[in-house]
Structure 1
Amino acid sequence: MYLLVSIFFTSLALTPLLLKTIYPYFWKDAVYFVDLLRILLKYILRRRRTPLFMVLDRFLEQSVAHPDRAFILFENENYSYRDTDRRSNKIANALQKHCSGLRAGDTVALFMGNEPAFIFTWLALAKRGCAVAFLNHNIRSRSLLHCFNCCGAKVLIAAAELQEAVKEVLPSLREQGVCVYVMAKQCDSPGMMAFSDLLEDAPDTPRPLSDRSGVTFRSPAVYIYTSGTTGLPKAAVVNQNRLLTALAVLDSTGVTPGDVIYLNLPLYHTAGFLVGLIGSIETGSTVVLRRKFSASQFWDDCRKYNVTVIQYIGEIMRYLCNTPKRDDDKDHQVRLAIGNGVRAEIWKEFLDRFGNIQVREFYASTEGNVGFVNYTGKIGAIGRVNFLHRTLFPYVLIKYNTERDEPIRDTSGLCVESPRGETGLLVSKITDIAPFVGYAKNSQQTEKKKLRDVLRKGDVYFNSGDLMKIDHDNFIYFQDRVGDTFRWKGENVATTEVTDTLTLIDFVQEANVYGVQVPGNEGRIGMAAITVKEGQHFDGTKTFSHVASNLPAYARPRFIRIQNAVEVTSTFKQMKMKLVEEGFDPACVTDPLYILQDREQSYMLLTGQVYSSIVSGNFKL
Structure 2
Amino acid sequence: MTQENVSARDIVRSLPGILRRFPSIAKGYYYYSVKNGNKDLTLGTLVERNAEKYGHRPAILFEDRSITWHEFNGWANRIARFLKAEGLVRGDAIAVFLENRPELLAVVAGAAKIGVACAMLNTSQKGKVLEHSVNLIGPKMVVVGEELVESFDGVKADIQTSHPNPFLFLADTNTMNIFGDAPEGYVNMATKVSAHRNTAPQPADQPTMGDTAIYLFTSGTTGLPKAAPGSHRKFMKAYGGFGMMSLDMRPDDVLYCTLPLYHGTALLVCWGSVLAGGSAIALRRKFSASAFWDDVRYFRATTFGYVGELCRYLLNQPPSKQDRNHNLTKMIGNGLRPSIWKEFKERFGIETVAELYASSEGNIGFSNFFNLDNTVGFSTAPYKLVKFHDGTRDPVRDENGFMQEVEKGEPGLLIGEITKKWSFEGYTQKDATEKSILRAAFKKGDQWFNTGDVLKEIGCGHLQFVDRMGDTFRWKGENVSTTEVENIIDGSNMVEEAIVYGVEIPGTNGKAGMVTLVPRSNGHEFDVNRLFRYLNDNLPPYAVPVFVRVTSAIEKTGTFKYRKVDIQKAGYSIDKPGEQVYAWLPGTEGYSLLTPELVAEIDSGDVRF
State the TM-score, normalized to the length of structure 2.
0.92
Secondary structure of residue in 2 paired with 1:299 = helix
The AA in structure 1 aligned to 2:29 is: L
Secondary structure of residue in 1 paired with 2:399 = coil
CA contact (8 A) 1:317 1:347 kept: no
Query: 1:314-356, CA deviations, whole angstroms, 9 ceiling, x for partnerless residues?
Result: 0011000001111111111111111111111211221232124
Kindly indicate whether residue 502 of structure 2 is the aligned counterpart of residue 508 of structure 1: no
1:114 pairs with one of 70, 77, 100: 100
Query: 1:136-180, CA deviations, whole angstroms, 9 ceiling, x for partnerless residues?
Result: 111012111111111121110110121112211121226755611
- CA drift of 1:493 comes to 0.3
Tell me the residue number matched to 2:3.
none
Secondary structure of residue in 2 paired with 1:85 = helix
Secondary structure of residue in 1 paired with 2:159 = helix
Rounded to whole Å, the distance in 1 between the matches of 2:516 and 2:319 is 39
> Residue 29 and residue 484 in structure 1: after superposition, are their counterparts in 2 closer, same or farther (change >3 A)?
farther
Rounded to whole Å, the distance in 2 between the matches of 1:303 and 1:587 is 49
Rounded to whole Å, the distance in 2 between the matches of 1:468 and 1:438 is 21
Tell me the residue number matched to 1:149.
135
Secondary structure of residue in 2 paired with 1:181 = strand
What pairs with 1:435-454 in structure 2 (closer than 5 Å)? Answer: 435-440=423-428, 442-454=429-441
Kindly indicate whether residue 227 of structure 2 is the aligned counterpart of residue 266 of structure 1: no
The AA in structure 2 aligned to 1:264 is: T
The AA in structure 1 aligned to 2:383 is: Y
- CA drift of 1:516 comes to 0.4
Kindly indicate whether residue 339 of structure 2 is the aligned counterpart of residue 352 of structure 1: no
Secondary structure of residue in 1 paired with 2:465 = strand
Rounded to whole Å, the distance in 1 between the matches of 2:459 and 2:72 is 48
Tell me the residue number matched to 2:225.
233
1:195 pairs with one of 176, 189, 197: 189
2:157 pairs with one of 171, 186, 193: 171
Tell me the residue number matched to 1:402.
390
Kindly indicate whether residue 588 of structure 2 is the aligned counterpart of residue 595 of structure 1: no
Query: 1:272-293, CA deviations, whole angstroms, 9 ceiling, x for partnerless residues?
Result: 0001112211211111111111
CA contact (8 A) 2:382 2:417 kept: yes
Corresponding residue pairs, total: 590
Rounded to whole Å, the distance in 1 between the matches of 2:65 and 2:260 is 19
Kindly indicate whether residue 327 of structure 2 is the aligned counterpart of residue 339 of structure 1: no
Kindly indicate whether residue 419 of structure 2 is the aligned counterpart of residue 431 of structure 1: yes
Rounded to whole Å, the distance in 2 between the matches of 1:76 and 1:130 is 31
> Residue 174 and residue 500 in structure 1: after superposition, are their counterparts in 2 closer, same or farther (change >3 A)?
closer
Kindly indicate whether residue 359 of structure 2 is the aligned counterpart of residue 365 of structure 1: yes
Tell me the residue number matched to 1:247.
239
Tell me the residue number matched to 1:105.
91
Query: 1:387-442, CA deviations, whole angstroms, 9 ceiling, x for partnerless residues?
Result: xx2xxx111111112256521222221111112111111111111111101101x1
> Residue 84 and residue 472 in structure 1: after superposition, are their counterparts in 2 closer, same or farther (change >3 A)?
closer
Rounded to whole Å, the distance in 2 between the matches of 1:80 and 1:580 is 51
Rounded to whole Å, the distance in 1 between the matches of 2:592 and 2:103 is 41
Secondary structure of residue in 2 paired with 1:229 = coil
> Residue 317 and residue 599 in structure 1: after superposition, are their counterparts in 2 closer, same or farther (change >3 A)?
closer
The range that moved more, 313-322 or 349-358, is 349-358
Secondary structure of residue in 2 paired with 1:360 = strand
CA contact (8 A) 1:187 1:193 kept: no
Rounded to whole Å, the distance in 1 between the matches of 2:445 and 2:160 is 46
Secondary structure of residue in 2 paired with 1:327 = coil
Tell me the residue number matched to 1:564.
552
Rounded to whole Å, the distance in 1 between the matches of 2:476 and 2:421 is 33
- CA drift of 1:133 comes to 0.5
What pairs with 1:45-64 in structure 2 (closer than 5 Å)? Answer: 51-64=39-52
The AA in structure 2 aligned to 1:518 is: I
> Residue 501 and residue 204 in structure 1: after superposition, are their counterparts in 2 closer, same or farther (change >3 A)?
same
Query: 1:56-108, CA deviations, whole angstroms, 9 ceiling, x for partnerless residues?
Result: 112101101110001101000000001101112222233344x2x42332100
- CA drift of 1:599 comes to 5.2
The range that moved more, 407-416 or 478-487, is 407-416
RMSD: 2.3
Secondary structure of residue in 2 paired with 1:237 = strand
The range that moved more, 372-381 or 547-556, is 372-381
Tell me the residue number matched to 1:39.
28
CA contact (8 A) 2:121 2:133 kept: yes
**Which one has the largest radius of gyration?**
1
- CA drift of 1:543 comes to 1.1
> Residue 473 and residue 48 in structure 1: after superposition, are their counterparts in 2 closer, same or farther (change >3 A)?
closer
Tell me the residue number matched to 1:133.
119
The range that moved more, 431-440 or 397-406, is 397-406
The range that moved more, 309-318 or 599-608, is 599-608
Tell me the residue number matched to 1:476.
463
Secondary structure of residue in 1 paired with 2:154 = helix
Rounded to whole Å, the distance in 2 between the matches of 1:258 and 1:44 is 26
CA contact (8 A) 2:362 2:451 kept: yes
Query: 1:576-598, CA deviations, whole angstroms, 9 ceiling, x for partnerless residues?
Result: 21121111132467510111257
> Residue 221 and residue 540 in structure 1: after superposition, are their counterparts in 2 closer, same or farther (change >3 A)?
same
CA contact (8 A) 2:14 2:371 kept: no
- CA drift of 1:305 comes to 1.5
Secondary structure of residue in 2 paired with 1:444 = helix
The AA in structure 1 aligned to 2:230 is: V
> Residue 219 and residue 261 in structure 1: after superposition, are their counterparts in 2 closer, same or farther (change >3 A)?
same
Rounded to whole Å, the distance in 2 between the matches of 1:335 and 1:563 is 51
> Residue 297 and residue 175 in structure 1: after superposition, are their counterparts in 2 closer, same or farther (change >3 A)?
closer
Rounded to whole Å, the distance in 1 between the matches of 2:151 and 2:7 is 61
- CA drift of 1:29 comes to 6.3
- CA drift of 1:218 comes to 3.1
Rounded to whole Å, the distance in 2 between the matches of 1:44 and 1:74 is 33
CA contact (8 A) 2:78 2:193 kept: yes
Secondary structure of residue in 1 paired with 2:591 = strand
Identity %: 35
The range that moved more, 196-205 or 271-280, is 196-205
Secondary structure of residue in 1 paired with 2:44 = helix
Rounded to whole Å, the distance in 2 between the matches of 1:354 and 1:224 is 32
> Residue 24 and residue 344 in structure 1: after superposition, are their counterparts in 2 closer, same or farther (change >3 A)?
closer
> Residue 203 and residue 614 in structure 1: after superposition, are their counterparts in 2 closer, same or farther (change >3 A)?
same
CA contact (8 A) 1:587 1:608 kept: no
Rounded to whole Å, the distance in 2 between the matches of 1:495 and 1:523 is 14
CA contact (8 A) 1:229 1:483 kept: yes
CA contact (8 A) 2:37 2:208 kept: no
CA contact (8 A) 2:140 2:161 kept: no
Q: Is there any run of 5+ residues in structure 1 with no aligned partner, and where?
A: 1-19
Rounded to whole Å, the distance in 1 between the matches of 2:145 and 2:490 is 32
State the TM-score, normalized to the length of structure 1.
0.90
- CA drift of 1:125 comes to 1.0
Tell me the residue number matched to 2:406.
418
Kindly indicate whether residue 571 of structure 2 is the aligned counterpart of residue 613 of structure 1: no
Rounded to whole Å, the distance in 2 between the matches of 1:54 and 1:175 is 27
Tell me the residue number matched to 1:222.
214
Q: Is there any run of 5+ residues in structure 2 with no aligned partner, and where?
A: 1-5, 172-178
Tell me the residue number matched to 1:576.
564
The AA in structure 2 aligned to 1:343 is: R
Rounded to whole Å, the distance in 2 between the matches of 1:617 and 1:123 is 44
